[in-house]
């Protein structure tokens, strides 16, 4: 009887470990090498919107700050990639973008629509759902 019980406990422990590993794998960003070969991942667009929503005062940031946030999250992106995607988000009405000569960068502000997408209350094509 004891052998059956210990085998059952070992199986349950193995299932729990695998389940936890799958959960961690599903929530981590893509591998930088794999991401670098892609054009732009819709999940990163979502991450930029959520970053503006949660971590940036007044929901305003410049391209350099957002590039730094992406680097800290493990995404390898160039400054040109960030600028291009911020312009895409602006063309979709999710952020408003302005080229500021005084700082020499693109400055973006999260719009009401962008906030709804970041919070998962609205679905937008090209942005991963929360």
Q: List pLDDT tens digits, range 80-115.
A: 889 999 999 999 999 999 999 988 899 999 999 999
Residue 19 has pLDDT above 50, yes or no: no
24 shares its domain with 43:
no
**Backbone dihedral region for residue 68 (phi beyond 0: left; psi -120 to 50: alpha; all else: beta):** alpha
Residue holding tokens 């959960």? 23
The answer on 67 and 25 residing in a single domain is no
Same domain, 22 and 76: no
- Shared domain for 13 and 46, answered yes or no, is no
Residue 50's Cβ-side half-sphere holds a number of Cα atoms within 13 Å equal to 15
Q: For residue 63, is pLDDT > 70? A: yes
Pair (22, 39) in one structural domain = no
Q: Measure the CA–CA gap between 114 and 52, rounded to whole angstroms.
A: 9
Pair 106, 76 in one domain = yes
- Choose between 57 and 93: higher pLDDT: 93
Is there a single domain that holds both residue 25 and residue 35?
A: no
So what's the pLDDT on residue 12?
60
Q: What is the mean pLDDT of residues 58-82?
A: 89
Which among 51, 50, 69 is positioned nearest to 121, based on CA atoms? 50
11 & 75 share domain: no
Statement to judge: residues 83 and 126 lie in one domain: yes
Pair (19, 75) in one structural domain: no
In which domain, by residue range, is 107 found?
31-130
Asked whether residue 69 falls in the same domain as residue 114, the answer is: yes
What total of structural domains would you count in the chain? 2
Same domain for 9 and 71, yes or no, is: no
Q: Please give the Cα distance from 85 to 18 (Å, whole number).
A: 36
């Amino acid at each position: 009887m004891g052998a059956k019980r210990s085998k059952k406990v070992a199986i349950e422990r193995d299932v729990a470990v695998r389940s936890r590993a799958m959960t961690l794998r599903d929530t981590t960003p893509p591998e930088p090498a794999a991401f670098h070969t892609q054009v732009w991942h819709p999940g990163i667009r979502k991450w930029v919107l959520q970053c503006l929503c949660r971590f940036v005062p007044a929901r305003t940031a410049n391209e350099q700050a957002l590039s730094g946030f992406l680097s800290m999250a493990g995404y390898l992106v160039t400054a040109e990639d960030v600028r291009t995607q911020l312009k895409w988000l602006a063309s979709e009405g999710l952020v408003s973008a302005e080229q500021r000569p005084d700082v020499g960068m693109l400055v973006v502000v999260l719009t009401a629509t962008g906030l709804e997408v970041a919070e998962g209350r609205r679905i937008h094509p090209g942005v991963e759902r929360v």
